[in-house]
Amino acid sequence: MKTDLQLLQGAWRQVKFEENGLVDPIDTHGADGAIMTISGSTFHVAVPGGEVMIEGDFQLDGSTTPKQIDWIDSIGEDAGKRLPAIYKLSDERFEFAAADADMNRPQDFAGGRGITIRGFVRA
């Protein structure tokens, strides 16, 4: 059986975006059809055509309920900040809910102020 880190490897196409309780607002770190590529414990998000939106590292803890992931962007306004998040993962779908750096980790996927939810399917 594969670990969550092994399952995450490869390309994922964004199909869901919610920020601060709003569905599909203007997205500065992704776009409709953006592709997130995971290699090891690094991520890279680009729009079709190649423009890089965001990249960085992440750390997983799949032993918790809900499962936890921390995103650390290497470029952009959140560069170097730890963004606490939770995630759900299957062979073909990946979803996470991340809080702003100064907030506590979300406990569910309800969204709201300071929470970003992204959903992906295998690309």
Question: 20-35: per-residue pLDDT in tens?
Answer: 998 876 666 566 678 9
* Average pLDDT across the chain, whole number: 92
- CA separation for the pair 51, 101 (Å, rounded): 25
Q: What percentage of the chain exceeds 70 in pLDDT?
A: 93
Distances (CA, A) of 108 to 16, 39, 73, 80, 98: 16, 26, 22, 25, 10
**What pLDDT, on a 0 to 100 scale, did the predictor assign at position 26?**
65
Question: Residue 46 corresponds to which amino acid?
Answer: A
Beta strands in the chain (DSSP E): 10-19, 22-23, 35-39, 42-46, 52-61, 67-73, 82-89, 93-99, 115-122
Helix (H, G, I), strand (E, B) or coil at 59: strand
Tens digit of each residue's pLDDT (9 = 90 or more) over 10-63: 999 999 999 999 887 666 656 667 899 999 999 999 987 778 889 999 999 999
CATH of the domain at 108: 2.40.128.280
Q: What is the mean pLDDT of residues 87-102?
A: 97
Q: What is the mean pLDDT of residues 72-81?
A: 94
**Residue range(s) defining the domain that contains residue 88:** 4-122
Q: Distance from first CA to last CA of the chain, Å, rounded?
A: 21
**What pLDDT, on a 0 to 100 scale, did the predictor assign at position 30?**
61
**What pLDDT, on a 0 to 100 scale, did the predictor assign at position 29?**
56
| 64: pLDDT strictly greater than 90 | yes
Give the chain's domain count.
1
**What pLDDT, on a 0 to 100 scale, did the predictor assign at position 28?**
61
